[in-house]
Amino acid sequence: MPKQEQVVLDTFQKYADKLKSPLKLADILENAVGENSQYAAVFIPSGHGVLAKIPHNLDVKKVLNWAVEQEKFIIALCHGPASLGCGSR
C-alpha cells in the first residue's frame, strides 16, 4: 500500500472496519443488482480461491449478468478472469 499518498491512507482509514469484515455476496445480492443499485462495477480479485470457487458460484453468475446488462464495469485481476465464464447464460 502506498504510504506516501495521503488520499490513499485516508480512504483506507475511512473503510478499515468494513475491510476487516466484508459482506457476503449472497447477503447483498438483491440490493446489489436491483434497479437502484449504488454499484458502478464488479471487481474480481486474484488468488487461487477464484479458480476453485468463484467460477461455479450462481451468485457471481447473477452479478456478472447484471453488470453486462446494465453496462457496468467488470474488473478482473490475475486469476480473476477464470470467473468470467460463469456469467455466460
Q: Which residues are CB-contacts of 82 (< 8 A; sequence separation ≥ 6)?
A: 50, 51, 54, 55
Q: What is the DSSP string of 32-44?
A: HTSTT----EEEE
Q: How far is CA 19 from CA 6, 7, 67, in A?
A: 18, 17, 23
Provide the 8-state DSSP code for 22: P
Taking the whole predicted model, whether its pTM rises above 0.85 is answered as no
The Cα 48–Cα 45 span in angstroms is: 10
Write out pLDDT tens, residues 34-57: 878 888 999 988 877 667 777 788
51 Cβ contact partners less than 8 Å away, ≥ 6 residues apart: 79, 82
- Which range, of 12-16, 32-36, 53-57, 76-80, averages the lowest pLDDT? 53-57
Active site residues: 78
Grid look-up 472496519 returns 17
86: pLDDT confidence band, cut at 50, 70 and 90? Answer: low
